[in-house]
Amino acid sequence: MLTLHQAGLTNTPAIAPLDGTIRPGELLAIVGPNGAGKSTLLSMLSGFRSAEQGELHLDGKPLRAWPITELANRRALVAQQELPGFDWQTNELLSLGSNPSKSLVAALLDDLDITHLAKRSVLSLSGGERQRVMIARGACQLLSRCSPTAKEGGILLLDEPTSALDIGQQQRLMRQLRSWATQHHMAIVCVLHDLNLASTYADRVWLLHQGQRIDHGLPNQVLNPATIAKIYAAELQRIEGGTHGKPLLALAP
């Protein structure tokens, strides 16, 4: 569990102090317009950028106090357009640094519909294929280090994980992330631009604007047309009858 205690960043790009808890088994979506601070916040949550005020605690221990190798067992970050540095095969890339079982690698490849890429060079993949491979690698980093009966499966932080995917792959990925959260007691945090993906699949939403979290809560509370239209400077209409009754947003004609 990751807890924020008035955690923020004072240097540009800044993040206003935040309180909150990210829990095992949930999918949290971070949304907001371009330049809102979403990727910066994700970097602070991961520990790659240290909070400059307040503090973050991971499992009750200050995030800054975790040794790097131990922290790698508990959290994984998949950045935007992450490029592998060498000409590895896909299955080799998943195994780097974590020594996973062959069955785990095979399961993750199957989960993300990339089994056919196992022996392919990662440098030969399309943007969407590479994106799914890097997400599988992040999950492998966490799951190779925890037992099937572990109460928590770590925190997987994803920066725009659907940006290079077609709509079918977006749907399959978001469903799989929900499955991982439930099956492995994993906390999953996604920066998303697609508000309807956030509405459909997230348990909770944080809405950012100009480095401040201006709203947070259930998707149908946060993603209302009046607030979103103001923040995004867009004209929207609400469509009822989405998945499980969750509303969807569409551009007004």
Look up the domain containing 94 and give its range.
67-191+199-215
At 96-113, the pLDDT tens digits run 877 888 999 999 999 999
Residues 4, 108, single domain; the answer is no
pLDDT of res. 88: 85
Q: Is residue 234 part of a domain?
A: no
Question: Is position 79 within any domain?
Answer: yes
Total tally of structural domains belonging to the chain: 2
In a domain, 24, yes or no: no
Sheet of 2-9, strand order = 15-22, 2-9, 53-58, 61-62
Is 250 a member of any domain?
no
Whether 203 and 116 map to the same domain: the answer is yes
Q: What is the pLDDT of residue 248?
A: 75
Tell me: do 123 and 177 sit in the same domain: yes
Are 118 and 5 contained in the same domain?
no
Residues 6+ away with beta carbon under 8 Å from 56: 2, 3, 4, 5, 7, 44, 45, 47, 62, 63, 64
Q: Looking at the structure, tell me whether residues 94 and 211 fall in a common domain.
A: yes
Whether 3 and 124 map to the same domain: the answer is no
Q: Is residue 226 part of a domain?
A: no
Which pLDDT score is estimated for 76?
94
List, for residues 144-197, the tens digit of each pLDDT value.
876 555 567 899 999 999 998 999 999 999 999 999 999 999 999 999 999 999
Residue 123 placed within a domain: yes
pLDDT of residue 244: 59
The verdict on 55 and 77 lying in the same domain is no
106 lies in some domain:
yes
**Contact 111/181 with Cβ under 8 angstroms?**
no
Q: Are residues 52 and 135 in the same domain?
A: no
Output the pTM of the full model: 0.91
52 with 107, same domain: the answer is: no
- The answer on 11 and 129 residing in a single domain is no
d(CA 90, CA 86): 11
Residue 93 shares a structural domain with residue 139: yes
Q: Does residue 38 lie in a domain region?
A: no
* Exposure string over 19-32, b if 16+ CB within 10 A, otherwise e: ebebbbbbbbbbbb
Do 116 and 4 reside in the same domain of the chain? no
Are 79 and 106 within 8 A, CB to CB?
no
What residues of the chain score a pLDDT lower than 50?
none
